[in-house]
Structure 1
Amino acid sequence: MSNQSSQPSPVAPLAARERLMTEPDLGAGNFLDHAIAVNPHRAVPFAYSHHTDHRGAVVLRGHSLLDLAVLRDRYAAWYHANGVRPGEPVAVVIGEGLEPLLHFLALTALGAVPALVNDAMRHDVMVRYLNHVGVVGVVADDTTRLAAAYRQDPQRRPRFLALAAEVQAFDADASGGLPEVYPYRHAADDVVALIHSSGTTGTPKSTMLAHRQFWDGKQPRMVRFPAEPYDRLMSLMPHTHAGGLSYFLTATLLGLPTVVMADWRRSVVEPVMEAFRPTMVASFPRTFVELATGELPVKGAAKVHSWFNTGDSAHYGHIRRLVRLGERPAGLIRPWLLPSEKAEQPALPGSQFVDGLGSSEMGMALFGQVTTPESVRDDRCVGMPLEVVRRAAVLDADGEEVPDGVVGLLAVDTPSRTPGYWNNARLTSSFELAGYWLTGDVARRDTEGRFYHLDRTVDVIDTTSGPVYSLPIEEVLLADCADLVRDCSVVGVPGAVGGGQLPIAVVQLQAEAEDVRAEDVLEAANKALAGAGLAALAAVRIARTVEEFPLGPTGKVLKRELRTRFATLFTGQ
């Protein structure tokens, strides 16, 4: 492990961060250069990669802003030598960690458009996605299966399929160098990245991120994101999601020491936590589920004061265990997701969990709810919208606002929203209604302006008694049946003819409950659901293998696959 304690802090001075907030040309395509320009600690390592040595010890390698620029320029010279020009999409199919972010920096410095692809995506789906995007080239850890697929359809083959190792080994000095105008000067609406959806609800969509749009709304982080000399961020956000780019952009501009994780599994994460000693951990729920299960990671989380979740909101059953860990230092700045408030609080045991509801399309987490050990449980609350949101509403199908307390379509009007979907104007327009962007969620708002996230629109269960929402049911199973249920997913499947859909739960059991029968879980679940005033489950199925609890490339449960698997459960067909 590198000696971090002897290094001066790489965090940019407050005056430099305030300057970044008002810089008119700053955006997602040039944030590294702006960080170098204002941060006097530009030569101090802040971005850490990790690996395990031959003895099993964690090794952390730090990179400064200047180090990142050198690597970026070398990679950019390779892309330029291979004919990549401004506006051209290039696929980056590289495993998680710092490496794919270097390719993002290189391609945006040329004005090209990196299409960041999760390397766990099924190859047939990946080829269809790349063909839709129209990439001019692909850089991947392994090109074998992609090359084989393109041999079946050579007319669609991109100009180059190259190994990431080839780019790493490139001798930039022997090449033709970089363009005369470099780095590229982006216009505000230039597309700087393509982010595919998780695929949990169908074929991945290609969300565009624009230079200025992806910076809009993040300016307050320059003064509100915790960045004391002792602060350290562990980022488990995938680079193929806007969340991964968002945290990397934030950390780079702040100069915040950050380890960019190459694996989200607890077996890898916990040893790195113990070596890096983060004060903040940012992740999708997938890692939080593992960290909250079984014996808690007390040593690795000893200094954690904040857990940040973005994407689908996490569940209270897991959150309440995590906030027991760590410590909140005196004067901790209230979370950056919330309106500007600095509570001069004393040092407190435990941590805070900041649950942000966001997506690549929203550009960032636009709602935020904070849970601490002292918080009162408030299932599915995602709080109030951020300042960047001009309007947030719950709409009916005609675009009219529904009264508070009534469930409808969650919609936002914000400059942080995506320009749309690449090569698909019709799909883009389908998410626009009455001047709002539809997030794809169903929600309700209470009389105090707090929003409650109930389901994805495609996952609502249409029973003969009315719609049933899967997320509140999952909340109860995970919090009130925690002695039995480790994780779960609730879906609707067809009932008998004329019987509408019926809700069922597919559950993973706690280790100490491995011998429990599905009937016992169903009885316990329906008792808890009745107490919460929620619909009863028609059945429970226990997932005892990985295959029985299918996850997408980003670790989200594939509900569409569960619906198909259990489609005939009650029809007898």
Structure 2
Amino acid sequence: MSTAHRTEDGTHAPHAAVPPALRARLHDDPGLGTGNFLDRVRAVHPAADRPFVWAVPSGGGPEAAQAWSLDRITAARDALAAWYHGAGVSKGVPVAVQMGDGFGYFLHFLALSSLGAVPALVNGGMPAAVAADYIRRTGAAGVVADTPRLEALRAAGLRAGPGMFLQEAGALPLERSPGDRLPGVFPYPHADTDPVMLCHTSGTTGAPKAATFAHRQFFLGKRERLVSFPAPEDGNRLLSALPQSHSAGISYLMTATLLGLPTMVLSDPGGPSAVAAMRAFAPTVVAAFPQTWVDLAGTDLDGAADRVHTWINTGDSAHEAHVRALVRYGRRPEGGGFRPGSRFIDGLGSSEMGMALFRKVSDPETDDYGRCVGVPIGVVEEVAVLDGDGRPVEDGRPGRLGVRTPTVTPGYWNDSGRTALSSFSGYWLTGDVVYRDTDGRIYHLDRVPDVVHTADGPVFSLPLEEVVLSEPGVADCAVVAVPDPGTGAMAPYAVVRPAEGAEPPADLLGALNARLEAAGLARLRGASAVRSEEDFPLGPTGKVLKRRLRERFADALGGPVGSPA
């Protein structure tokens, strides 16, 4: 990495920080939103030519990171927008983008939204057949993808023709040419409800759905970060290991742009990539999805996480075992000095929620776990725990989570029927099973399709997984429902991924059930230790695909009742 981007002590200085007074002015600007934030901040920035983002290219390390300033980002945005305009893309037109995860998604998001078009960002790890089906369902007018993914999409049956262009991403310009043209009105002036992006769901329970994000709705969480997020003038630096095709990746890059916060963006969110970036960049804040924490929790982070004071998780809530492993590292500001250990901010959210709507902060002193995801953040108007008929249940009883908040998606793109079925009496039904305690804290028990319906009643998989992960040598696990030949119902079955170099106990099922009994939870009917990707499949965002695990282990209890699995 170029020493031009570093201070004498080797750290990245906040040369491009947006001054606090300007951040406060932006915060109070009622017209600021997703579609215009780049131009609004650039118009007032005193150092728009200085880099604040270092983007690690696909297949490269932090030493190959490219520096990006506001000026360079805007120039690339305009060059891409001119190309899209020339290709006939205009207001309201969806265009799909798929590539190796990285900063390129942000540039295409900016370019397409600046035309009033609707970028449909597709995770680079999504299988080609699934991606091609998703793109067709969005009605995309075109696809921009890197070479291997474009070839795979063509092999999956996606074809160019009237109303559909296919374009190799590497051939598109990042600098303007003299003959380039932009629309007469540019950038497009978004109204509050104008769509600015489509973000697909994880696809863990079926085909990925296209959640719509709007100019005002998507920006609601970013506005408060202008005054509440760790500030660059305090020496903060952000490492984003989030999937950049996801709304969360876009969200934190928007935050970095609004603050001028020194930020390193990874293309590979895996543990080795994240550790290398941490050693080179010395971040104070690390943002990622749960799968990155799985990798980091089993890694020695001495010398890599020394300056980290905050880990930020979004998407699915994180596991206690991984949180406890991470907060041992780093240092927290306290009384003009530092206290050993860091804090972990966990946030339960989804594409449809628009952002993480529940917040729980853990540190080395925390003993309040039990899959607690905390309390709703300020933007949430109301939270309900509902039974199957839509009636509120009393505290302590499980039910379906419903939220009323202006951050919720306006709906699923091209699927008004599914949108209508996803709400009840003004509550958005998140698809989660939770309970609320008497202090108003929410505890996450399961996703609705993942509940194990046994002969003795429902068993929720997430509390069982927390206990299974406390077994030494377990890196990750998933508890799924498999047919129980003895009862004709379903039974809980644990699929365990051992840590590297660790061997599971000879009686894995007995060891796990002993822990579950001590915790007062249901026993497992079987357990398997697996190491292959086929036996522990992950989706494109790193979530365990329980749907596939149910299929893979459907015959696991096929022998006589009580026989070992």
Shorter-chain TM-score bucket reads: over 0.9
Matching residue of 1:144: 151
Matching residue of 2:475: 486
Matching residue of 1:511: 500
Take 2:160 and 2:166, find their aligned partners in 1: how far apart are those partners?
A: 12
Deviations 1:428-481 (A, max 9, x none): 1111012100111000000011110111111011111111111111101112x1
C-alpha displacement at 1:498, in angstroms? Answer: 4.1
Take 2:179 and 2:460, find their aligned partners in 1: how far apart are those partners?
A: 57
Q: Which residue of the other structure, out of 202, 214, 226, is the alignment partner of 2:230?
A: 226
Q: Which residue of the other structure, out of 176, 200, 207, is the alignment partner of 2:204?
A: 200
Equivalent pairs, count: 551
C-alpha displacement at 1:484, in angstroms? Answer: 2.9
Matches within 5 A, 1:323-402: 323-330=327-334, 347-402=338-393
Contact 1:497–1:571 under 8 Å retained in 2: no
Contact 1:2–1:61 under 8 Å retained in 2: no
Take 1:94 and 1:53, find their aligned partners in 2: how far apart are those partners?
A: 13
C-alpha displacement at 1:172, in angstroms? Answer: 3.2
Take 1:447 and 1:296, find their aligned partners in 2: how far apart are those partners?
A: 39
Once the two structures are aligned, what percentage of the paired residues are identical?
Answer: 50
1:251 maps to 2:238: no
Take 1:353 and 1:174, find their aligned partners in 2: how far apart are those partners?
A: 49
C-alpha displacement at 1:147, in angstroms? Answer: 2.6
Matches within 5 A, 1:255-334: 255-293=260-298, 295-330=299-334
Matching residue of 2:66: 61
Contact 1:52–1:58 under 8 Å retained in 2: no
> Are residues 53 and 117 of structure 1, via their aligned partners in 2, closer, same or farther at CA, if it must alter by over 3 Å?
closer
Matching residue of 1:405: 396
C-alpha displacement at 1:11, in angstroms? Answer: 2.0
Contact 2:491–2:524 under 8 Å retained in 1: yes
Take 1:377 and 1:386, find their aligned partners in 2: how far apart are those partners?
A: 18
Matching residue of 1:90: 95
Calculate the TM-score normalised by the size of structure 2.
0.94
C-alpha displacement at 1:163, in angstroms? Answer: 0.6
Contact 1:232–1:278 under 8 Å retained in 2: yes
C-alpha displacement at 1:217, in angstroms? Answer: 3.2
Amino acid corresponding to residue 448 of structure 1 in structure 2: D
Contact 1:201–1:560 under 8 Å retained in 2: yes
Contact 2:58–2:100 under 8 Å retained in 1: no
Contact 1:235–1:244 under 8 Å retained in 2: yes
Take 2:477 and 2:521, find their aligned partners in 1: how far apart are those partners?
A: 16
Matching residue of 1:335: none
Q: Which residue of the other structure, out of 522, 533, 536, is the alignment partner of 1:546?
A: 533
Gaps of at least 5 residues in structure 2 are 8-12, 561-565
Q: Secondary structure at the match of 1:389?
A: coil
Matching residue of 1:213: 217
> Are residues 108 and 567 of structure 1, via their aligned partners in 2, closer, same or farther at CA, if it must alter by over 3 Å?
same
Matching residue of 1:41: 47
Deviations 1:204-243 (A, max 9, x none): 0000000000011332211111114210000111122221
C-alpha displacement at 1:110, in angstroms? Answer: 0.7
Gaps of at least 5 residues in structure 1 are 332-344
Q: Secondary structure at the match of 2:493?
A: strand
C-alpha displacement at 1:569, in angstroms? Answer: 2.1
Matching residue of 2:2: 2
Contact 1:76–1:110 under 8 Å retained in 2: yes
Matching residue of 1:30: 36
Take 1:531 and 1:516, find their aligned partners in 2: how far apart are those partners?
A: 18
Take 1:267 and 1:365, find their aligned partners in 2: how far apart are those partners?
A: 26
C-alpha displacement at 1:572, in angstroms? Answer: 5.4
Matching residue of 2:10: none
Matching residue of 1:15: 21
Contact 1:484–1:521 under 8 Å retained in 2: no
Deviations 1:407-436 (A, max 9, x none): 000111000000010011110111101210
Deviates more, 1:15-24 or 1:544-553: 15-24
Take 1:307 and 1:282, find their aligned partners in 2: how far apart are those partners?
A: 6
Q: Secondary structure at the match of 1:239?
A: coil
Q: Give the CA RMSD over aligned residues.
A: 1.9
Deviations 1:502-546 (A, max 9, x none): 0000001123432643xx221111111111110011000111212
Matching residue of 1:334: none
Contact 1:138–1:158 under 8 Å retained in 2: no
Q: Secondary structure at the match of 2:46?
A: coil
Contact 2:14–2:261 under 8 Å retained in 1: no
C-alpha displacement at 1:269, in angstroms? Answer: 1.7
Contact 2:51–2:70 under 8 Å retained in 1: yes
Matching residue of 2:489: 500
Take 2:75 and 2:479, find their aligned partners in 1: how far apart are those partners?
A: 48
> Are residues 534 and 112 of structure 1, via their aligned partners in 2, closer, same or farther at CA, if it must alter by over 3 Å?
same
Amino acid corresponding to residue 502 of structure 2 in structure 1: A
Matching residue of 1:162: 167
Deviations 1:75-122 (A, max 9, x none): 111111111111100000111111111010000111100000012111
Q: Which residue of the other structure, out of 515, 521, 534, is the alignment partner of 1:528?
A: 515
> Are residues 52 and 387 of structure 1, via their aligned partners in 2, closer, same or farther at CA, if it must alter by over 3 Å?
closer
Amino acid corresponding to residue 212 of structure 1 in structure 2: R
> Are residues 154 and 96 of structure 1, via their aligned partners in 2, closer, same or farther at CA, if it must alter by over 3 Å?
closer
C-alpha displacement at 1:154, in angstroms? Answer: 6.6
Contact 1:443–1:453 under 8 Å retained in 2: yes
Matching residue of 1:340: none
Take 1:211 and 1:135, find their aligned partners in 2: how far apart are those partners?
A: 20
Matching residue of 1:424: 415
Matching residue of 1:107: 112
> Are residues 52 and 178 of structure 1, via their aligned partners in 2, closer, same or farther at CA, if it must alter by over 3 Å?
closer
> Are residues 496 and 150 of structure 1, via their aligned partners in 2, closer, same or farther at CA, if it must alter by over 3 Å?
closer
Take 2:151 and 2:95, find their aligned partners in 1: how far apart are those partners?
A: 18
Take 1:57 and 1:211, find their aligned partners in 2: how far apart are those partners?
A: 33
Take 1:550 and 1:210, find their aligned partners in 2: how far apart are those partners?
A: 32
